[in-house]
Amino acid sequence: MQDVLGPTLRLIRLPHGEGVELPAYETRGAAGMDLKAAVGENEPLVIAPGRRALVPTGFIFEIADGFEGQVRPRSGLAFKHGITCLNTPGTVDSDYRGEVKVLLINHGDEDFAVTRGMRIAQMLITPVVQARIVEATQASETARGAGGFGSTGV
Ligand SMILES: O=c1ccn([C@H]2C[C@H](O)[C@@H](COP(=O)(O)OP(=O)(O)OP(=O)(O)O)O2)c(=O)[nH]1
Ligand SMILES: [Mg+2]
């Protein structure tokens, strides 16, 4: 995978991200780079059951034109603790210059403490295109027509 040259991702470290490891692909073929929590060293962010929290990553991500960042949950956190991303997949626009944050929700039945450096989610860099938006008066004909939501059987 790493033989395939992807776009450059510039990361601007914010003061509270000082010392936090860069997001990284954990294995050679990993689709997503793991994002780490930039919460205070002695201030874990505790998410109670049923609650949500915006977790800082400590970085501005300058995503190349023509790409987006998709913030997705980590399956291990979901399986073991019921922790997932509420807005999955989160969309990080290429023109966004604020800090990337991860919106976690606790679907488990115990408090979950997010500690500094914890790998909380993953980000995929994915190509996007913008459509040319045109209003029309009639839909074109197709074999499917208006059939959907199980119209071809289950
Ligand atoms: O998980 C996420 C999702 C979004 N963002 C940031 C980057 C993204 O470019 C911006 C806006 O996200 P989105 O378009 O999904 O939210 P919105 O509710 O439409 O806000 P806006 O009006 O700012 O576009 O928020 C994150 O940091 N993490
Ligand atoms: Mg938006």
> What distance in Å separates the CA atoms of residue 87 and residue 71, rounded to the nearest whole number?
9
**151 is an annotated ligand-binding site residue:** no
Lining ligand 1 with CB less than 6 A are: 71, 87, 90-93, 96, 100-103
Q: Whose CA is nearest to atom 11 of ligand 1?
A: 92
**pTM higher than 0.90:** yes
Q: How many CA atoms lie within 13 A of 139 on its CB side?
A: 6
ipTM of the complex: 0.98
Q: What angle do CA 83, 9, 61 make, to 5 degrees?
A: 55
Q: Phi first, then psi: what are they for 17, rounded to 5°?
A: -95, 0
Please name each of the domains of the chain with its CATH number.
10-127 (2.70.40.10)
Quickly tell me which residue has 């197709």 as its tokens: 142
> What whole-number distance in Å separates Cα of residue 53 and Cα of residue 37?
12
79-114 pLDDT, tens digit per residue, is 999 999 999 999 999 999 999 999 999 999 999 999
